[in-house]
Amino acid sequence: MTDYFTETGSAETVNARISPDADARLAAVMASLVRHLHAFVKDVTLTEAEWETAIAFLTRTGQMCSDTRQEFILLSDVLGVSMLVDAVNNRKPAGSTPSTVFGPFHVDGVPERKMGANISLDGVGEPCLFRGRVVDLEGRPIAGATVDVWSDNADGFYDVQQPDTQPQHNNRGIFVTGADGRYWFTGIKPVSYPIPDDGPVGEMLGHLGRHPWRPAHMHFLVSAPGYDRLITHTFVAGDDYLASDAVFGVKAPLIVDFARTDAGPEAGPETPLWQADYDFVLPPA
């Protein structure tokens, strides 16, 4: 008896077509996707008009993508899918600094800077001293750890978003710890900014009554031989959007007090208005 399509057995009929010669992992992923997608259609009894709206939405989302805009990543971000993929792939032992989404603004080829350097190349913004240690789960300093930091400028834009008006590598730098595991550098206190909301994803957020803002944050990629690579942000305590980050990136242990303070001797020629102390805890690889 041929297994023609029925409402009840819909997913099974589709998945039975996957060849036994197909890659086993691909087959498992696609079969699960089909099961969940069909369950969704059945749960809500998706109407034909809603299906047409979804087709048009996905089409516009794809057509919004360009070399400088990835609307499908944005969609994944605002639906919490990006954070979930991060979560299931980066389950860390208790006490580790938690990971969060990578985001689209990291660049390779940023120069290693001398400890204490100022990464605010345009000098615009509220100067801040960032300092802390890279340590293992027992609190012991990790020497030779690479701290790769990237952040927005005082207007909420990354250098790559404004190549004509920001110096290259503005608010970016790589620092390598010594025997004490310490890092310190000057930059600016980051500011909150909206994700690009002039496309289909922004429209969707509007219909859902959601805002596009991300709370102020610094991005960090921290790595050291023998330890798990950490991709995370630090967030500014007290930011208006901590509880409603458009991409769900906030975790409580990543919120940092930015204290008003005088500069220490490590800060270089600038006089920071702010100081942010944060230790990164890396589990073994």
In whole angstroms, the minimum distance from the beta carbon of 231 to its own copies comes to: 10
Q: Which is nearer to its own copies, 18 or 263 (CB)?
A: 18
Please check whether residue 115 is in contact with residue 185, taking contact to mean a CB–CB distance below 8 angstroms: yes
Contact status, residue 191 vs residue 216, Cβ threshold 8 Å: yes
Among 135, 250, 276, 282, binds its own copies (CB under 8 A): 250
What does residue 31 show for φ and ψ, rounded to 5 degrees? -65, -40
**Is residue 285 close enough to count as binding its own copies by CB under 8 A?**
no
Q: How far is the CB of 196 from its own copies (least distance, A)?
A: 15
Of the two residues 46 and 124, which places its CB atom closer to its own copies in the complex? 46
**Sheet arrangement for strand 172-176:** 172-176, 146-150, 217-223, 230-236, 255-256
**Nearest one of 81, 99, 84 to 232, comparing CA atoms:** 99
Q: Binders of its own copies: how many residues, by CB under 8 A? A: 76
Q: What is the DSSP string of 171-227?
A: TEEEEE--TT-EEEEEEE----EEPP-SSHHHHHHHHTT---EE--EEEEEEE-TTB
Contact flag: residue 87 with its own copies (CB under 8 A): yes
Q: Does 140 bind its own copies (CB under 8 A)?
A: no
With CB under 8 A as the contact rule, the residue among 24, 67, 91, 179 that binds its own copies is: 91
CB nearer to its own copies: give 48 or 164: 48
Q: Give the x/- contact pattern for its own copies in 39-78, rule: CB under 8 A.
A: xxxxxxxxxx-xx---x--xxxxxx-x----x-xx--x--
75 touches 51 (CB < 8 A): no
Our finding on whether 251 is near its own copies (CB under 8 A) is yes
Tell the smallest beta-carbon distance from residue 123 to its own copies (Å): 34
Task: Give which of 80, 97, 100 is closest to 89, Cα–Cα.
Answer: 100
The residue range among 38-46, 138-146, 185-193, 216-224 that interacts with its own copies, by the rule CB under 8 A, is 38-46
Q: Which two tokens stand for residue 123?
A: 């000098």
- Count of positions (residues) in the chain: 285
Question: Of residues 166-225, which lie at the interface with its own copies (CB under 8 A)?
Answer: 207-210
Least distance CB 234 / its own copies (angstroms): 14
